[in-house]
């Protein structure tokens, strides 16, 4: 691995910290991209990486994405991300989570963490025993915001897909619209259920094929093999698993006029957004459409810090504005001839003082 500051994904990050704790076996990377708008907020990913370079690239790209996501969602937070390098057995221990919590605490509030791939609500509760700079903790009461961000992320993507269908296809409803969904976990599964209620026609796929099949049976949907879902002829392709799937090969396989889903960093490289545009495919920038979860956990965190009730209605109002931001991006893209990802990046950069 080369020096991280020479990596293509290093973007004047304010802090990149390696965390090692011999006693617990913790190895983690915490990356703070920007604190221009407030403390750097972003989840912690627990993942086994084939090499350390992949972990560093994830931390750099995901933290930058969080800066853009929080800015475009109108949140008073900067962008950060942490990755915990799991062993091949993906063993996670209380001591490891405690050591990670101590590392977050040592940053003195510059970084606020939350759950991400491989980290759940109970893990965040464990981390919160060592630091207050944690969001996405369980909340009580039906009207309280916070807890598992997955359903809120799914709600934002659902609104974003409807906006894309309206903008590209001229349809005010998703009834009968064919959506191919890659990933049927907390987010993808939530998107599928919301679309199914509106009468969308669904094709589902997941590396856990049994999970996809079970959800398909529940919703009356079709399934596709994991290696076939990107080639399904559909109205909307919705990627809701891991990122970097939109590369030359992936884009060439697409048979859809719209890509709108919640996976982070869907574009493998910057020029792939232009490739989508050249094929006439409308792209919903991932950090704009998938902001529902961070909206929820941020409002929960701020309410807790201020000693005020967290209001789920305010979360829903902010999530309902995601289509407005997407439509602004698409309009500016049409006017300028620049692809939506470039337009969104420039809008976000201006918001964080880097325009």
- 197 labelled catalytic: no
**Rounded-to-integer distance, Cα 16 and Cα 6, Å:** 13
- What token pair was written down for 255? 């048979």
Provide the 8-state DSSP code for 231: G
- Which residue matches tokens 């048979």? 255
CA distance 14 to 260: 30
Residues 6+ apart with CB under 8 A from 19: 26, 27, 28, 29, 30, 99, 100, 103
Residues 6+ apart with CB under 8 A from 170: none
Distance from C-alpha of 278 to C-alpha of 254, rounded to nearest angstrom: 13
Of the candidates 81, 168, 317, 332, the residue annotated as catalytic is 81
Helices (H), the chain: 52-72, 94-106, 121-127, 150-164, 186-197, 209-219, 248-253, 272-278, 286-289, 292-306, 312-319, 322-336, 340-351
Dihedrals phi, psi of 159, to nearest 5 degrees: -60, -40
Q: Could you give the residue numbers annotated as active site?
A: 81
């Amino acid at each position: 691995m080369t020096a991280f500051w020479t990596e293509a994904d290093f973007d004047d990050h304010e802090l990149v910290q390696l965390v090692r704790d011999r006693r617990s076996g913790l190895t983690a990377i915490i990356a703070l991209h920007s604190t221009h708008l407030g403390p750097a907020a972003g989840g912690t990913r627990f993942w086994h990486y084939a090499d350390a370079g992949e972990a560093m690239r994830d931390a750099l790209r995901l933290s930058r994405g969080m800066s853009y996501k929080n800015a475009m969602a109108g949140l008073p937070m900067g962008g950060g991300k942490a990755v915990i390098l799991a062993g091949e057995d993906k063993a996670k221990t209380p001591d490891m989570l405690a050591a990670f919590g101590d590392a977050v605490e040592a940053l003195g509030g510059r970084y606020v963490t939350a759950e991400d791939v491989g980290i759940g609500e109970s893990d965040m509760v464990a981390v919160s025993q060592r630091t207050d700079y944690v969001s996405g903790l369980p909340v009580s009461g039906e009207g309280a915001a916070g807890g598992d961000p997955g359903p809120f992320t799914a709600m934002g993507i659902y609104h974003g897909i409807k906006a894309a269908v309206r903008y590209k296809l001229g349809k005010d409803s998703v009834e009968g619209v064919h959506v191919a969904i890659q990933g049927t976990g907390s987010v993808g599964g939530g998107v599928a259920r919301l679309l199914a209620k509106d009468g969308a026609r669904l094709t589902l796929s997941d590396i856990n094929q049994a999970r996809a099949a079970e959800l398909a049976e529940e919703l009356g949907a079709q399934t596709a093999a994991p290696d076939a879902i990107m080639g399904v002829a559909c109205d909307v392709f919705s990627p809701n698993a891991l990122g970097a799937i939109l590369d030359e090969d992936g884009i060439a396989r697409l048979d859809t006029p719209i890509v709108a889903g919640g996976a982070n960093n869907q574009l493998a490289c910057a020029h792939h957004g232009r490739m989508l545009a050249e094929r006439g495919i409308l792209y919903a920038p991932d950090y704009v459409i998938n902001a529902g979860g961070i909206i929820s956990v941020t409002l929960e965190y701020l309410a807790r810090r201020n000693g005020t009730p967290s209001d789920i209605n305010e979360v829903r109002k902010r999530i309902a504005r995601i289509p407005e931001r997407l439509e602004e991006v698409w309009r500016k893209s049409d006017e300028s001839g620049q692809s939506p990802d470039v337009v969104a990046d420039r809008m976000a950069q201006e918001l964080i003082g880097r325009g």
